[in-house]
Amino acid sequence: MRCGDAVLRWGHKTYVMGIVNVTPDSFSGDGQLDTRRAVAHGLALVANGADILDVGGESTRPGADPVDAAEEERRVVPVITELHARTTRPISIDTSRAEVAEAALDAGATIVNDVWGFQRDPALAGVVARHGAGAVAMHNRAAIASRAEGLGGYFREVAYDNLLAEVVAGLKESMVILEHSGVARSQIVVDPGIGFGKTPEQNLELLARLGELRTLGASILVGTSRKSVIGVTLDLPPQDRVEGTAATVALAIRNGADVVRVHDLPAMARVARMADAVVRGWPIAIEPEVGR
């Protein structure tokens, strides 16, 4: 996948996408509304192993209050502009709005990551095509959010007749929208949407059966970092979900993920590298001594 001057070569390694939340209400507690701090956070992620930076200006946690497009753009564009000037890593804009994506791509982003799979704003796929950008299409479903004390928002009941079949069908629809707008298949990544419109049990099933998404013929991104499925499973708040995240990242890589979206670096970069050594045969860091 071409991302401006960078190229992501699928199968070579698992790419680590570091999260830069430019919001005051991130579920994980890492939101930064101050541009200087958000940029410093992004650069620290790069220094600690991030291959891609994902910048978002609106919280997508279950039950979050929406912000308007002008405010979202005001939050993210200065951060993307500064990061683009200071790192060669590809930058992704996490948005579902065409006007925000346009401004972000003009500022230096080269990937659009839409949690609604390009099915909410009919103009968004065309923006991606015009810029020759990459596209991450996530599966999502509108549902009523619940809250658990200390664990945050999650979805207690979401009806699926056949979870995997419906997720695959939804992602296929997103791919059709993108391709009909002129986005090349090689520029599309799919995301099963762990934590979005699924119960904790459904999220675990998706992770276990992730390889079935390969039928779509697209690379796969998985975002489990600090999410409620880990909190509900382990009865832990977001700040204590590092080990649970590590387990899900390793399993996602084993089951076919090409990109993992994470908060905790360098820990998750190390998890990805170790999982790659098993799954992809990636070389170890130190050559063994000879003659001992």
Active site residue: 261, 270, 280, 292, which one?
A: 261
* DSSP letter string, 57-78: SS--STTPPP--HHHHHHHHHH
Peptide bond into 283 cis (omega under 30): no
Print pLDDT tens along the chain (292 aa): 999 999 999 998 999 999 999 987 555 455 566 899 999 999 999 999 999 999 999 877 666 677 899 999 999 999 999 999 999 999 999 999 999 999 999 999 999 999 999 999 999 999 999 999 999 999 999 887 777 766 777 788 899 999 999 999 999 999 999 999 999 999 999 999 999 999 999 999 999 999 999 999 999 999 999 999 999 999 999 899 999 999 999 999 999 999 999 999 999 999 999 999 999 997 766 654 544 4
Predicted local distance difference test score (pLDDT) of residue 142: 85
pTM above 0.85, yes or no: yes
Record the tokens describing residue 5, joined without a space.
């001057």
Q: Are 139 and 171 in contact (CB under 8 A)?
A: yes
227 is catalytic: yes
What number of other Cβ atoms are within 10 A of residue 281's Cβ? Answer: 7
Active site residue: 61, 227, 241, 273, which one?
A: 227
Predicted local distance difference test score (pLDDT) of residue 292: 40
Q: How far apart are CA 275 and CA 271, in angstroms?
A: 6
Predicted local distance difference test score (pLDDT) of residue 285: 63
CA nearest 116: which of 184, 174, 194?
A: 174
Record the tokens describing residue 175, joined without a space.
């791919």
The kind and range of the H/E element at 20 are: strand 15-21
CA nearest 111: which of 228, 261, 266?
A: 261
Q: Are 188 and 175 in contact (CB under 8 A)?
A: yes
Predicted local distance difference test score (pLDDT) of residue 146: 74
CA nearest 195: which of 236, 165, 237, 152?
A: 152
Predicted local distance difference test score (pLDDT) of residue 123: 98
